[in-house]
Structure 1
Amino acid sequence: MFEYFTEHGRAAVVASQDEAVALGHDFIGTEHILLGLVVTEESTAARALREVGVDAERARAETVRICEAAGVPSTGGQPAKDALSSLGIDVEAIKAQADGTFGPGAFQYPRPAYTPEAKKALEQTLAEARALGAERFGTGHVLLGLLSSGGGRGPEVLVALGVGEEVLRRAVLARLAR
């Protein structure tokens, strides 16, 4: 499916993974997808989000606040690392060797998995793009997919930032129509 994403669309999905890792989360949720869209500068979604007052710093702060309030741990994958360590596998040693061989950051473990809500948002991306007659999926389609999926903490972050779903949807559609 990712071969149908535009360059910005792929960059936003990768950025969502990076945001989850940076926050120490063992999953990629709709809140991380939202952050990935915000930080993919010069993209349709980032411009629409800025237009309605959403920036990366505020979105990240609200994500952290909402996740902490929900009791979401920021373990950085420590339980998985501990499990491997109990088997005699030193993840830090593997990371050090991979970084030395392939460059810093080449090895990240564990790589978080998508939540069911995030998977649904990405599936809705396809539906939104097709409904608009698009052959490829850009950040605008991803944002529309996140909005139409209605699940996860991404929409909660938007509400906390005072952003109405319909206002944002119109801003994205206007940009896609250009």
Structure 2
Amino acid sequence: MFEFFTDRARHAVSLSQDEAIDLGHDFIGTEHLLLGLVGTVPSTAGDVLREQGVELTRAREEAVCILEAAGIVAAGGQPAKDALSSLGINAGEIQRQADTSFGPGAFQYPRPAYTPDAKKALEHTLSEARALGQERFGTEHILLGMLAAGEGRGLEVLAALEVDPDGLREAVLTRVAREAW
């Protein structure tokens, strides 16, 4: 599916993975997708989100608060590292060797997996792009997919930032229509 994404959409997804890792999460949720979209400059979704008052630092803070309130703490992949350690594999040493060979941060373990809500949002990305008659998926389609999915902590972050999902959807569709001319 990712082969149909535009470069900016791929960048946003990559940023969402980076956000999850930087926050010490071993999953990628809709909150991380939202952060990736806001952090992708320039991009249709990021531009519209910023116009709606969504600022990356504040969105990140809200995401952390929402996750902590749900009892989800940053584990930094420790359960996976512990499992490897029980097999005699030192993930820290692998990380050090990879950093030496490929540069700092080139290897991240574990790679976070997408939550069911994030998968659902990405699945809706396809239907949103097709509904607009487009074959490639841009950041706008990811955001529309997240809104269409109707669930996930990304929507909770938007609510905490007082962003109306219906108004946001309308703003994205207006921007898409304007860019099509």
**Deviation string, structure 1 residues 39-94 (Cα, Å, up to 9, x no partner):** 01110011000111001011001001100100002000011101111111011111
Q: Give the Å deviation of 1:26.
A: 1.1
Counterpart-to-counterpart distance in 1, 2:30 and 2:139 = 14
Aligned to 1:85: 85
Aligned to 2:22: 22
Aligned to 1:6: 6
Q: Gapped runs of 5+ residues in structure 1?
A: none
Contact 1:51–1:171 under 8 Å retained in 2: no
Q: 2:141 matched to 1:141?
A: yes
TM-score, length-scaled by structure 1 = 0.98
Counterpart-to-counterpart distance in 1, 2:108 and 2:55 = 27
Aligned to 1:174: 174
Q: Give the Å deviation of 1:151.
A: 1.4
Q: Give the Å deviation of 1:114.
A: 0.3
Aligned to 1:69: 69
Q: Gapped runs of 5+ residues in structure 2?
A: none
Alignment of structure 1 residues 121-160 onto 2, 5 Å: 121-160=121-160
Counterpart-to-counterpart distance in 2, 1:64 and 1:128 = 28
Aligned-partner residue type, residue 92 of structure 1: G
Counterpart-to-counterpart distance in 2, 1:105 and 1:61 = 23
Per the alignment, in what secondary structure is the counterpart of residue 45 of structure 2?
helix
Aligned-partner residue type, residue 73 of structure 1: V
Aligned-partner residue type, residue 83 of structure 2: A
Counterpart-to-counterpart distance in 2, 1:78 and 1:3 = 31
Counterpart-to-counterpart distance in 2, 1:134 and 1:157 = 28
Aligned to 1:107: 107
Q: Give the Å deviation of 1:29.
A: 0.4
Q: Which structure 1 residue ranges, 4+ long, deviate > 6 Å from structure 2?
A: none
Aligned length: 178
Counterpart-to-counterpart distance in 2, 1:17 and 1:102 = 19
Taking only the aligned residue pairs, the percentage that are identical comes to 68
Aligned to 2:98: 98
Aligned-partner residue type, residue 158 of structure 1: L
Q: Give the Å deviation of 1:105.
A: 1.1
- Between stretches 47-56 and 98-107, larger displacement belongs to 98-107
